[in-house]
């Protein structure tokens, strides 16, 4: 039996899972920073009502 496909499959799954695990927090971070920017903007607008 050719073992190569199994080795390829294992390492591909490993790479995909580790990549996803590494990138997920970065996507999260982008949306969190977007939220914080919005919060900041609302706060600025409230502080200078005559903007």
Partner 1 sequence: MNTNVTTMNKEKARKNWLVMFIHKMGSPPWFYNFAGKLIPWLWAIFIGLTVWGLYLGLFKAPADYQQGESFRIMYLHVPAAWMSMMIYTSMAIMGFIALVWRIRIMEILAMCSAPVGAAFTIIALASGSLWGRPTWGTYWVWDARLTSELVLLFLYLGVIGLYNSIDEPRKAARAACLLAMVGAVNLPIIHYSVKWWNTLHQGSSISVTGGSNIDPSMLWPLLIMAVAVKFYYGANLLTRARVKLLEQDKRKGWVKNLVKEHKS
Q: Which residues of the shown chain bind partner 1 in the complex (CB under 8 A)?
A: 1, 3-4, 6-7, 9-11, 13-14, 17-18, 20-22, 24-26, 28-29, 32-33, 35-37, 39-40, 43
CB atoms within 10 A of CB 43: 9
* CA distance linking residue 47 with residue 40, whole number of Å: 11
Helix (H) or strand (E) holding 4: helix 4-47
- Minimum CB–partner distance for residue 49 and partner 1 (Å): 19
- Minimum CB–partner distance for residue 41 and partner 1 (Å): 11
- Minimum CB–partner distance for residue 31 and partner 1 (Å): 9
Q: Which token pair is 38?
A: 């919005």
């Amino acid at each position: 039996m050719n073992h190569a496909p199994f080795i390829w499959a294992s390492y591909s799954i490993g790479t995909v899972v580790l990549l996803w695990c590494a990138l997920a927090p970065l996507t999260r971070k982008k949306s969190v920073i977007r939220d914080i920017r919005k919060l900041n903007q609302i706060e600025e607008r409230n502080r200078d009502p005559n903007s």
